[in-house]
Structure 1
Amino acid sequence: MQRLAAYLGVFAALAMATAPALAAAPDRDRQRAEALVAEGLSYARAAKALQQKGTAGFRAEYGKAIAKFEEANRLYPHPEIQHNLARAHEELGHLKVAFEWYSQALKQDYTYASDGRARLGKIEQQLRESHAMLTVRTTPSDTNVRLVFSDGTEETHVSTPFQTWALAGTLKIVASNPEFKTGNKDYELKAGEDRQVNLVLETLPRQGFLEVNANVPGAKVFLSEVLIGTLPMQSVTYPAGIYELKVTAKGYLDHKEQLVIVKDQLAAVTVALLPDGEPDDGGEVGGGRVTRDDGPPTWIGVTLIGLGVGTAILGGVFHGKAFDFNDQANKIPISDPRNEIDDARYDSLFGKAKDNQTYAWVSYGVGAVLVGTGIALLAIGGDDEAPPASSVAVPPRFVPSVQAGPGYLGAGGTLTF
């Protein structure tokens, strides 16, 4: 350990010369930090004397020194305080902690930087004899990562990416985020290796609310061919997503439409079911004689197919952009843990790639629905002739609809004929 008087003099000078932001701290914090450093050095000298005599009590004295240095660094962060923290942990054999404090101190130049670099290199050699250098990245980055090492000890990180020394052997990684499924995976690590781990968490189903009303009480409600209840239906919780809504009742035509359920939002639908079947000669339905065309006009089907193809092509454009952003992200080398610029670039590019991939799949899905609907309408056939003026006709009717929300886009329509 350095002499107290010499250390304090250098500390005060460096605080003014190389850390102007810190020099702006209140004088009382700087003065309190200097006093804490003096107390810490006193404990450290006592610990060193006991250590040289082979007395076990030196560990407790180093512990007291560490407590003083940590409080001083909290009040007035400075590389020489961090260097002393590293030295104390090094004396106690806490090599991983010492490595971290030396790395932190060496982000700036200071009086004992050359000594710090030499000790950091020596500690790295010692750690590689029994540890692996582990780099962890997750998607999303704001993920809590718990590491369980082969000796049963644990280490927790509240975000990624990060680097740490991991004991050789079996490593268990538990990654959690409130909006994603918890990921668990085991790895076998070898001493001296550099291991990179990339974890992508699976999204949890996001819940929205559905309300359906119709003019026929007791009608059945289906979402993508799954029966979810009967009418009236008020604020039913259901996973967010794009569905086909179908409402059926005996004696009435089925009602179908595309429906988007958005997380934490209510999707309210009101349906008017039409009577089913052709009436007998002279019979009336709903107070008037009913006639029908053979089907919807062909231009509707052709238009929907064209829109669907265009939407699918747009999806291809998004997919190309996603691959481009992903390639750019993968070209960024694993950065030094002290360099946050490359990490920010990687997160930004990877996020753009993920967003464009989502847009692509949504476009493909919407395009497929439009093309499928158009083909179905063409198969049904029909003409553009109006029903006879002498009758009360119910002509084919197609009502397109588009619904959107955060992260979702749906398109479809309602066909009545």
Structure 2
Amino acid sequence: MEAATHTLVTKNTDDAQQVRPVEKGKVKTRRVFKGPGVTMIRLTIDSGAVMTEHTAAVPIVLQSISGNAVIEVGGERIDMSAGAIVHVDAHVPHSVEAITPAHLLLLLLERAPSEKAKTPEAIQEPARSDVVLASTGADAAAIEAVLNRHAEVSGALSGYATRVIDAASAGDQGLAVGTRIELLAWCSGPLADLLDAEAVHFGRALREIDEALADRVVHERDAVVASSLRVADVQSAAEGAAEVAGLRVHVGQYLRTYESRVLPALAQSKATSLATLWANVEAKTSTVAAGEAHPPTDHVCECGVVDEPELPELDVRTVPHAIRHATVFGALDAVHAGAGMILIAPHDPLPLLAQIEQRTPGRFEVSYLERGPQAWRLQLSNTAPHDG
């Protein structure tokens, strides 16, 4: 079966406007498409409403569908009448004000490369190394376990980060703070435990083999810690989303270095046993489901209705098959009680669903939203009772 090559997002202008109608006095958003390289968001702003100054972690394109708005960027006020299109670089402050009720389309483009690292490798998601040779079956099993744990970390971080960024995109300061608190609790818990345990056991063994590589790992671990501290320090939802995007880059770089450099170095050394090292790491770490440790943070708007943010999506069609299930497990660990996520798979994931049920019996309720032939979309809802 061939993979999908295109997606019809909306049929015409009227269809696009119906996706997110203008609400009186509000700035509202809704994600309408997410794919490799781009996320498309419908943005509506009522007359006189303002999306206050903020920055985006990635380059954006803003297109006016109907109505009249003004975007202020770089000290210039640009009229956004129907048909106007503006590109804004990443991290550039900008604001949008509606003169009349306005319908706009916002495109979030690929992550912007940093000044120090402009190669695609610097911004890719962590991926499994092609070949890591182990001298014993026990070491081979340990390598597999490390790669799976790292995939869980990547999946969990993706889930937390998506909720933070979606809340910021919706302009919901209260929800953005709550989702950021959940992310920081995970960073200071399971993520910190793993980083510390790997530093103690893998790090010490690595230093005996390759001191320069050991120093690099320490530097990248420190970058992850510093990035999480910046997430904690920011004040606005937009700044928080930008720092969370940076945190994903730093964690991804750390995981890639382990998988492409550290594990091969340790596996080829006769002076150490990867199986023993991993057993020590595993004894000091655990995977904690967000719903068990952290109660959900609901946001109540001024009319007393609980806002229901769109569920985060995990598209595993681009995830290497060998770590696909572990990535999903990690993402599900980030789904707190009462919340959920959308899983997009290239086929009906019945074996995966069986593993999820075996791993967390009765926790997730599964609903099919789409059944092929090019993609299967499922909603997984955490039905565990809220703490307290």
Report the TM-score when normalising by structure 1. Answer: 0.23
Report the TM-score when normalising by structure 2. Answer: 0.24
The structure carrying a bigger strand percent of its residues is 1
Of structures 1 and 2, the one scoring higher in RCO (CA 8 A, sep 6+) is: 2
Q: Which has the larger radius of gyration?
A: 1
